[in-house]
């Protein structure tokens, strides 16, 4: 599958490594330009591209940048993606890093709904509570009792199925965490955020979440 990854840091870099190793055709971009990604491209076989090129022809586009940088993504950054393409949003709002975002804190938009508004395209929220290193270190075959489960939220069932199938390929189980308006259940500071457990515990943690933003994650 052709996959575009926008953001080549902890998460984007490790998704590039694993998805390329699985045989996907990965294009990866950062803010500074493809020449700064030569080492990652050489290591993985992925193609380093400009951010405006990453989505070209892609069935899946991963947006994995600090939340404050989402509005800085070039206009039309998703143009040229394949018909019916799916966007995976891994991002989190850290007011200490991102500055205070009133639409999230005061108007109550979930972090992913805010991101959708800037991207102009629906997203599927996944990996936002996953330690980047776990993407490399913790894949296990389906059915292994130690397999970790990741919550996946999205409004479009077909898109969510596609993302869950990709995560299965990466060696993780998934739990359907509902729609994007409910995706506060997996935002920073919730019981499921950073939880390294299987389906049962992840399902329980999602159910125990409070919609009130934790004090540590308010600006």
Compare residues 28 and 159 and give the one whose CB is closer to ligand NAP.
Answer: 28
What secondary structure does DSSP assign to 165-212, as a single string? HHHHHTT-EEEE---GGGGGGGSTTSTTTT----HHHHHHHHHH--SS
Query: Strands, E, within the chain: which ranges?
Result: 2-6, 25-29, 47-48, 60-63, 86-89, 124-125, 149-154, 173-176
Distance separating alpha carbons of residues 10 and 195, to the nearest angstrom = 18
Residue nearest to ligand NAP (CB): 9
Compare residues 36 and 158 and give the one whose CB is closer to ligand NAP.
Answer: 36
Compare residues 29 and 180 and give the one whose CB is closer to ligand NAP.
Answer: 29
Whole-number minimum distance, CB 4 to ligand NAP, in Å? 11
Distance separating alpha carbons of residues 40 and 52, to the nearest angstrom = 18
Give the tokens for residue 201.
């515990």
Whole-number minimum distance, CB 34 to ligand NAP, in Å? 10
Residues that bind ligand NAP (CB under 6 A): 6-12, 29-32, 51, 64-67, 69, 72-73, 90-92, 127-128, 130-132
Compare residues 125 and 164 and give the one whose CB is closer to ligand NAP.
Answer: 125
66 in Cβ contact with 90 (< 8 Å): no
Whole-number minimum distance, CB 176 to ligand NAP, in Å? 19
Angle at 153 between CA 82 and CA 141, to 5 degrees: 85
Compare residues 103 and 158 and give the one whose CB is closer to ligand NAP.
Answer: 103
Whole-number minimum distance, CB 143 to ligand NAP, in Å? 25
Compare residues 28 and 86 and give the one whose CB is closer to ligand NAP.
Answer: 28
């Amino acid at each position: 599958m052709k996959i575009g990854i926008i953001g080549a840091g902890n998460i984007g870099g490790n998704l590039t490594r694993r998805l390329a190793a699985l045989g996907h055709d990965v294009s990866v971009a950062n803010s500074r330009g493809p020449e700064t990604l030569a080492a990652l491209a050489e290591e993985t076989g992925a193609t380093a591209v400009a951010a405006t090129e990453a989505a070209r022809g892609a069935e899946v586009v991963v947006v994995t940048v600090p939340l404050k940088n989402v509005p800085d993504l070039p206009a039309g950054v998703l143009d040229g993606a394949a018909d019916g393409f799916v966007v995976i949003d891994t991002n989190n709002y850290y007011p200490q890093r991102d500055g205070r975002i009133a639409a999230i804190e005061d108007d109550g938009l979930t972090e992913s709904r805010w991101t959708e508004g800037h991207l102009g395209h629906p997203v599927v929220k996944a990996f936002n509570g996953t330690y980047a290193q776990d993407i490399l270190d913790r894949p296990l075959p389906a059915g292994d009792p130690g397999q970790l489960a990741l919550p996946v939220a999205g409004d479009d069932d077909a898109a969510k199925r596609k993302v869950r199938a990709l995560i299965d390929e990466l060696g993780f189980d998934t739990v359907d965490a509902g729609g994007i308006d409910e995706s506060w259940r997996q935002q920073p500071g919730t019981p499921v955020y950073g939880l390294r457990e299987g389906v049962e515990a992840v399902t329980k943690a999602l159910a125990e979440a409070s919609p009130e933003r934790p004090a540590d994650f308010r600006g």
